[in-house]
Structure 1
């Protein structure tokens, strides 16, 4: 993960974040048959208004390699988070930059942010049948399946709930 900087996205980053998020979801087959979800993914400014959009940047070049949206319960993009929990969504890494640690750096930054805010857990939802590499990442970071948080926003789109309990140290 050396050479990566995770920071809050700036408006100048929004076009790159929109492009790479849509590209990552398309490359993973997650936009097949979706009704307008690419538009939601591309609305980085909207996400930044009510959550924190974080980016992983290649330090030598300044290139945005990945992004994630960190939210708290009761905000428009929170789907699973309950009292005391934080959530992250739309974790995406540019397909050309995958394997460089940007996804893990972003997930770890969300966990650290939740600890900083005094949250008791971080929750996420992932598409059933997600890539094995993503599942290994979440397992390695201590996320466990929470079937009671599974849900389906559209027919044929099954999302699995994952949760990581937090301590003051993370």
Structure 2
């Protein structure tokens, strides 16, 4: 789908963002034995204090199709990024809207935002063994594995680090 609207989330969007994010993670099997992560995903207002929440919406209907959290180093939700880098977290597309380009549009919005801020790289963690479509999306965009930054926040939750080198905007 072309012509998606990607914009900063507004407080009125937070409940819809929470719903679609939890639904996307549940549909992908990432919340099995999740130890409270669904509550973190649903706390959109809390994430908005520490980063930028972006949404992809259908421009004709306003329906939220996906969301992502964009963060900078030293903020609460930054896991990998260092000085001069940025990171995105919790990229989610409503299961009913998958395949319409929302995930790719959100990644591009994060790349644009990081470039606009003069960042040298953009990072993301992906769960090993889940969401092969997400892995493909990141590879096609040029993200590469950074195995030395892989980590395991909880037993059975292995996160793979991916990095995209950026050229600052002129």
TM-score, normalised to structure 1's length?
Answer: 0.98
Check conservation: 2:30, 2:130, Cα contact below 8 A: no
Check conservation: 2:57, 2:65, Cα contact below 8 A: yes
The corresponding residue for 2:117 is: 117
The corresponding residue for 1:91 is: 91
Distance 2:130 2:157 in 1: 12
Task: Kindly state the Cα deviation for residue 168 of structure 1 after the two structures are TM-superposed.
Answer: 2.4
RMSD value, Cα: 1.1
Distance 2:131 2:53 in 1: 23
Task: Kindly state the Cα deviation for residue 50 of structure 1 after the two structures are TM-superposed.
Answer: 1.1
Q: Which runs of 5+ in 2 are unaligned?
A: none
Number of residue pairs the alignment of both structures matches? 170
Distance 1:68 1:79 in 2: 15
Task: Kindly state the Cα deviation for residue 131 of structure 1 after the two structures are TM-superposed.
Answer: 2.1
Check conservation: 1:9, 1:53, Cα contact below 8 A: yes
Q: Indicate yes or no: 2:168 matched with 1:161.
A: no
Q: Return structure 1 stretches of 4+ with deviation > 6 angstroms.
A: none
The corresponding residue for 1:63 is: 63
3-state secondary structure, aligned to 1:111: helix
TM-score, normalised to structure 2's length?
Answer: 0.98
3-state secondary structure, aligned to 1:39: helix
User: Structure 1, residues 7-60: CA drift from partner, whole Å, max 9, x if none?
Assistant: 000000000000000000000000000111000000000010110000001000
